[in-house]
Amino acid sequence: MVIVEKEEGSVIISQEDTKKRTYNIKNFIEKLLIYYELEKRNDEMFEKKCQKCRQEEED
């Protein structure tokens, strides 16, 4: 359980909420092993080309 201090008082965040936030952050920065496995299996899904024209590279 995490206690976050705010000006009005403290807010208690559950362990489940903390796990969800951690998962989302790790997934966002592509640190989860699952992301790399998906990338290996389906290269087309992770192409840097535009999804509409499939010619120009996106940033």
Q: What pLDDT, in 10s, does the model give residues 8-49?
A: 656 667 888 888 888 888 877 777 777 777 777 776 666 677
Range of the domain at 41: 22-58
Residue 6 belongs to some domain of the structure = no
Backbone φ and ψ of 57, nearest 5°? -85, 140
- Which tokens belong to 40? 């290996």
Backbone φ and ψ of 29, nearest 5°? -90, 15
In the chain, how many domains are there? 1
CB 24 within 8 A of CB 30: no
Residue 43 belongs to some domain of the structure = yes
Start-to-end CA span in the chain (Å):
38
pLDDT at 2: 53
